[in-house]
Amino acid sequence: MFSKTCEYSIRAVIYIYKKSVESECKVSVKDIATNIQSPEHFTAKILQILSRQDIISSAKGPNGGFFMDVHQGEMNLLEVVKAIDGSRLFTGCVLGLSKCDDKVPCPIHAQYKPIRDKMNLMLSSTTIESLATKLDSGLVFLSK
């Protein structure tokens, strides 16, 4: 479904936002990697990409690290997914055909489209903030 990079991205963003609201201090790569259970150096690379795209913010030096503001928390999951994996999942053909739409559909286009639309709707209506809140409540988890 999503690439590993995208999976780590979503987990990281949720974690960073949760930490950003519950404490003033920023989070280091090490802290993030430990808590979302991802390879540290690879995570560092991913955080750079997210930072460049303003999905998260970063600060160098002592007391530096990654953080997010309220506006960034209002972002939805679709934006994160598109920033990392692109929109192929939502626009491309499930069977990989170069041409496939309502006019010239692949054999499973009709059945697949409503599912793809539901996925799109789910991702676009789910904010990072809402997920971080659920994480805070202790009803959902990012590791184990």
8 Å CB contact between 58 and 47:
yes
Q: Taking CB under 7 A as the criterion, which residues in 105-134 touch DNA?
A: none
68 counts as binding DNA under rule CB under 7 A: no
Nearer to its own copies, 56 or 100 (CB): 100
Nearer to DNA, 59 or 108 (CB): 59
Give the largest CA-CA distance in the chain.
57
Continuous H helices in 53-127: 70-73, 77-85, 88-91, 109-124
Q: Is 63 left (phi over 0), alpha (psi -120 to 50) or beta?
A: left
69 counts as binding DNA under rule CB under 7 A: no
1 counts as binding its own copies under rule CB under 8 A: yes
Non-local CB neighbours of 43 within 8 Å, separated by 6+ positions: 8, 12, 29, 32, 33, 36
Residue numbers at the binding site for its own copies (CB under 8 A)? 1-2, 4, 7-8, 10-11, 14, 37, 77, 89, 94-100, 104-112, 114-115, 118-119, 122, 126, 131, 134-135, 139-144
Residue numbers at the binding site for DNA (CB under 7 A)? 3-5, 8, 26-30, 38-42, 44-45, 47-48, 51-52, 58-66
